[in-house]
A and B are shown apart, each in its own frame.
Chain A
Amino acid sequence: MNDSLKGPELRKPDEFIEEALYEVREKIYPRAVGGWFAGWRVAMVLVTQIVFYGTPWLPWNGRQAVLFDLAARKFHIFGLVLWPQDFIYLTLLLVISALALFLFTAVAGRLWCGYACPQTVYTEIFMWIERKVEGDRQHRIKLDGGPFGLRKLRLKAAKHGLWIALALWTGFTFVGYFTPIRELAGEVAMLALGPWESFWILFYGFATYGNAGWMREQVCMHMCPYARFQSAMFDTDTLIITYDKGRGEPRGARPRSADPKAAGLGDCVDCDICVQVCPTGIDIRKGLQYECIGCAACIDGCDRVMKKMGYRPGLIRYSTENALRHGWDFRQMVKRALRPRVLVYAAVLSAVTLGAAASLALRAPIKVDVIRDRAGLAREVEGGKIENVYRLQIMNTEERSHRFVIRVTGSDELEHLEVLTEAQPLEIGPVSSRAVPVRVRAEPEHARRSSQPITFIVEASDDGKHPLPEVFSVRERSSFFVPGESR
Chain B
Amino acid sequence: MSDFTAGFWDYYIGVITVVSIVACAVLLWGMSTQRVPGGATTGHTWDEDLVELNHPLPRWWIWLFYITIVFSLVYLVLYPGLGSYAGSTKWTSKGEYEAEIKQANAQYGPLYEKYAAQDLKQVAADPQARAIGQRLFLNYCAQCHASDGGGSRGFPNLTDQDWLYGGEPETIKASILNGRNGIMPPLGAALGEEGTKDAAHYVLSLSGRTSDPVRVARGKEKFSAICAACHGAGGKGNPQLGAADLSDRIWLHGSSEAALIETIGKGRASVMPAHKDFLGEARVHILAAYVYSLSNPQSAGMPVR
Q: Which residues of A contact B (CB under 8 A)?
A: 4-5, 7, 9-11, 15-25, 218, 221-222, 371, 373, 375-376, 378-379, 382, 387, 389-391, 420, 422-423, 435, 437-439
* Contact, CB under 8 Å: B38 / A19: yes
Assess whether A437 is in contact with B148, with CB atoms less than 8 Å apart.
yes
Assembly CA distance A458 to B192 (angstroms): 55
Query: Is the pair A373, B60 in contact by a Cβ cutoff of 8 Å?
Result: no
Interface membership of B181, Cβ < 8 A: no
Give A261 to B256 CA distance when docked, in angstroms: 113
Binding site for A on B (CB under 8 A): 31-41, 43, 51, 53, 55-62, 134-135, 138, 142-144, 146-153, 155, 249, 302-303, 305
Q: Are B56 and A21 in contact (CB under 8 A)?
A: yes
List residues of chain A with CB within 8 A of the CB of B148: 389, 437-439
Assess whether B142 is in contact with A21, with CB atoms less than 8 Å apart: no
Evaluate contact between A375 and B144: CB separation under 8 angstroms: yes
Q: How far is the CA of A25 from the CA of B55 in the complex (A)?
A: 11
If the complex has contacts A16-B37, A423-B305, are A387 and B150 also in contact, measured as CB distance less than 8 A?
A: yes
Give Cα A420 to B146, complex, Å. 14
Question: Which residues of the partner chain A approach B36 to less than 8 Å between Cβ atoms?
Answer: 18-21
User: If the complex has contacts A218-B58, A379-B153, are A17 and B303 also in contact, measured as CB distance less than 8 A?
Assistant: no
A423-B305, A435-B135 in contact; A17/B37 too (CB < 8 A)? yes
- Contact between chains at A10 and B40 (CB < 8 Å): yes
Main secondary structure of the interface of A (DSSP, over half): mixed
Contact of A18 with B35 in the complex, beta carbons under 8 Å: yes
A389 contacts B58, C-beta separation under 8 Å: no
Cβ-defined partner of B32 (8 Å) among A15, A21, A218, A439: A21
**Complex CA distance for A173 and B155, rounded to whole angstroms:** 56
C-alpha spacing A221/B56, complex, angstroms: 11
For A22, give its contact among B59, B135, B303 (CB under 8 Å): B59
Contact residue among A22, A435, A438 (Cβ-Cβ distance under 8 Å from B56): A22
Q: Is the pair B61, A20 in contact by a Cβ cutoff of 8 Å?
A: no
Selected contact of B150 from candidates A19, A25, A389, CB within 8 Å: A389
Distance between Cα atoms of A22 and B35 in the complex (Å)? 9
User: Are A379 and B56 in touch, CB under 8 angstroms?
Assistant: no
- Determine which of B56, B144, B249, B303 lies in contact with A19 in the assembled complex, contact meaning CB atoms within 8 Å: B56
Nearest residue (CB) in B for A389 is B146
Residue numbers in A under 8 Å from B57 (CB-CB): 21-23, 222
Tell me whether A22 and B39 are in contact (CB under 8 A). no
Complex CA distance for A221 and B57, rounded to whole angstroms:
9
A-B pair number, CB within 8 angstroms: 110
Contact B61 A222 (CB under 8 A): yes
The residue on A at minimum CB distance from B304 is A423
CB distance from A485 to the nearest CB of B (A): 9
The complex places the Cα of A375 from the Cα of B35 at a distance, in Å, of: 71
> Are B150 and A439 within 8 A (Cβ)?
yes
Q: Tell whether, in the assembled complex, residue B40 and residue A11 are in contact, meaning their CB atoms are under 8 Å apart.
A: yes
Known interface pairs A5-B51, A382-B249; A23-B40 also in contact (CB < 8 Å)? no
A20 touches B34 (CB 8 A): yes
Q: Verify B143–A391 contact, CB threshold 8 A.
A: no
If A10-B51, A22-B62, A382-B249 touch, does A375 touch B56 (CB 8 Å cutoff)? no
* 29 A–B contacts from the bound complex (CB under 8 Å): A4-B53, A5-B51, A10-B51, A16-B37, A17-B37, A19-B56, A20-B33, A20-B35, A21-B31, A21-B34, A21-B57, A22-B59, A221-B55, A222-B57, A222-B61, A371-B147, A373-B142, A376-B153, A378-B152, A379-B152, A382-B249, A389-B147, A422-B303, A422-B305, A423-B303, A435-B134, A435-B147, A437-B142, A438-B148
With CB as the reference atom, state the residue of chain B lying closest to A378.
B152
Asked if residues A376 and B41 are in contact (CB atoms below 8 Å), the reply is: no
Q: Which residues of B contact A11 (CB under 8 A)?
A: 39-41, 43
Q: Beyond the given A24-B58, A389-B146, could you list 20 further A-B residue pairs with CB under 8 A, ordered by the A residue number?
A: A5-B41, A5-B53, A11-B39, A18-B35, A18-B37, A18-B38, A20-B33, A20-B56, A21-B56, A22-B56, A22-B61, A23-B59, A24-B59, A218-B58, A373-B146, A390-B147, A422-B302, A435-B147, A437-B146, A437-B147
**Cα separation A16 to B40 with both chains bound (whole Å):** 11
Give the 6 A-B residue pairs with the shortest CB-CB distance, closest first. A376-B152, A19-B38, A11-B39, A437-B148, A437-B147, A423-B303
Residue among B37, B55, B152 with max Cβ neighbours from chain A (10 Å)? B152
B53, A391: Cβ atoms closer than 8 Å: no
A10 partner residues in chain B, CB cutoff 8 A? 40-41, 51
- Residues from chain B with a CB closer than 8 A to the CB of A222 are 57-58, 61
Q: Indicate if the CB atoms of A9 and B146 lie closer than 8 Å.
A: no
Q: With CB as the reference atom, state the residue of chain B lying closest to A7.
A: B40
Report the Cα distance A351→B149, complex, angstroms.
49
CA distance A167 to B61 in the complex (A): 23
- By a CB distance below 8 angstroms, the chain B residues around A17 are 37-39
Complex partner residue of B147 from A5, A19, A21, A391, CB under 8 angstroms = A391
CA A314 to CA B249, docked complex, whole Å: 96
Q: Which residues of A contact B39 (CB under 8 A)?
A: 11, 15, 17
**A23 in contact with B153 (CB, 8 Å):** no
Complex Cα distance, B42 from A177, in Å, reads 47
In the complex, which residues of chain B have a beta carbon less than 8 angstroms from the beta carbon of A23?
56-59
- Chain A residues closer than 8 Å to B41, beta-carbon distance: 5, 10-11
Most chain A CB within a 10 A radius of its CB, from B51, B58, B147, B303: B147
Within 8 Å CB of A4, what residues of B? 53
CA distance A420 to B304 in the complex (A): 12
CB distance from B168 to the nearest CB of A (A): 24
User: What residues of chain B lie closer than 8 Å to A218, measured between beta carbons?
Assistant: 58
For the complex, give the distance between the alpha carbons of A16 and B38 in Å.
7
CB distance from B233 to the nearest CB of A (A): 27
**In the bound complex, do residue A25 and residue B146 qualify as a contact, i.e. CB atoms below 8 Å apart?**
no
Q: Report the bound CA distance from A124 to B61 in whole Å.
A: 24
Complex alpha-carbon distance, A423 and B297, angstroms: 12
Nearest CB in chain A: distance from B102 CB, A: 18
Cβ B147 vs Cβ A373 within 8 A: yes
Inter-chain contacts of A390 with B (CB < 8 A): 147
Q: How far is the CA of A10 from the CA of B61 in the complex (A)?
A: 26
Residues of chain A lying within 8 A (CB to CB) of residue B60? 25
**B135: A residues at CB distance < 8 A:** 435
Q: For the complex, what is the distance from the CA of A373 to the CA of B155, rounded to whole Å?
A: 14
Which B residues are in CB contact (< 8 Å) with A371? 147
- A375 and B146 contacting across the interface, CB-CB below 8 Å: yes
> Known: A435-B135, A435-B138. Contact between A20 and B40, CB under 8 A?
no
A21 and B54 CA atoms in complex are apart in Å by 10
How near does chain A come to B223, taking the closest CB pair, in angstroms?
25
Contacts of A439 in B (CB 8 A): 148, 150
What residue of chain A has the Cβ atom nearest to residue B154's Cβ?
A376
State whether A420 and B31 are in contact (beta carbons under 8 Å apart), knowing that A376-B146, A376-B151, A435-B134 are contacts in the complex. Answer: no
- A423: which B residues are within 8 A, CB to CB? 303, 305
- Bound together, the chains give a CA A387 to CA B147 distance in angstroms of 12
Flag if B35 contacts A391 (CB, 8 Å): no
Tell me whether A375 and B152 are in contact in the complex, defined as CB-CB below 8 angstroms, given that A10-B51, A22-B57, A23-B59 are known contacts: yes
